[in-house]
């Protein structure tokens, strides 16, 4: 993962309720930060979330795996950059790669991978829509398309 690979970046401020008794961001809050990055990544394509929590493009995706490596620390009032990209797409699944960096000094705070699966109305894996795949292909530089899940 290189910073140059990420075209989508959002910023957020560490709030008082994000830190633990040691004065650093509690490890579980990074999952929230990464989720914000993933949602904003999709919004970047012009989609909105409807009242049922699904984007208006009709995709119903769920997280099936999250993996985080904690490298450094973030503190109250730090401004963090959440870098987000989709690195590969399969038939019904895809992978978000993400980094969190400190905006002030560029320190990498953590790295993450999240695998999501598109579901049908019966919550079974469903092939990703061609429009979604084409949008990601045109947005990402080093996207890997895999034949099957």
How far is it, in rounded angstroms, from Cα 110 to Cα 102? 10
117-142 per-residue burial string, b: 16 or more CB within 10 A, e: under 16: bbbeeeeebbebeeebbebbeeebee
How much is the pTM? 0.92
How far is it, in rounded angstroms, from Cα 20 to Cα 69? 18
Rg of the chain over CA atoms, in angstroms? 16
pLDDT at 49: 86
Sign of dihedral through CA atoms 60, 65, 69, 73? Answer: positive
Number of CB atoms found within 10 A of residue 62's CB = 11
Nearest to 85 by CA among 149, 27, 49, 41: 41
Q: What is the CATH number of domain 3-145?
A: 3.10.129.10
pLDDT at 144: 84
Sign of dihedral through CA atoms 15, 17, 19, 25? Answer: negative
Spans of all domains in the chain: 3-145
Contact criterion met (CB below 8 Å) for 83 and 6:
yes
pLDDT in tens, the chain (149 residues): 788 889 999 999 999 999 999 999 999 999 999 999 999 999 999 988 888 777 888 888 999 999 999 999 999 999 999 999 999 999 999 999 999 999 999 999 999 999 999 999 899 999 999 999 999 999 998 788 876 65
pLDDT at 52: 78
In a 3-state reduction of DSSP, which class is residue 129? coil
pLDDT at 4: 86
pLDDT at 148: 64
pLDDT at 145: 82
């Amino acid at each position: 993962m290189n910073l140059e690979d990420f075209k989508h970046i959002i910023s957020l401020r560490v709030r008082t309720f994000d830190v633990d008794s040691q004065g650093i961001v509690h490890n579980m809050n990074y999952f929230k930060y990464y989720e914000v990055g993933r949602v904003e990544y999709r919004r970047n394509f012009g989609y909105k979330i409807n009242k049922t929590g699904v984007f208006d493009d009709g995709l119903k995706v769920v997280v099936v795996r999250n993996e985080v490596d904690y490298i450094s620390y973030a503190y109250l009032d730090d401004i963090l950059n959440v870098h987000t990209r989709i690195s590969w797409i399969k038939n019904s699944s895809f992978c978000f790669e993400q980094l969190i960096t400190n905006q002030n000094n560029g320190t990498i705070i953590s790295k993450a991978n999240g695998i999501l699966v598109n579901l049908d109305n019966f919550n079974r894996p469903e092939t990703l829509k061609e429009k979604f795949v084409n949008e990601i292909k045109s947005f990402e530089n080093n996207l890997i398309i895999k034949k099957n899940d």
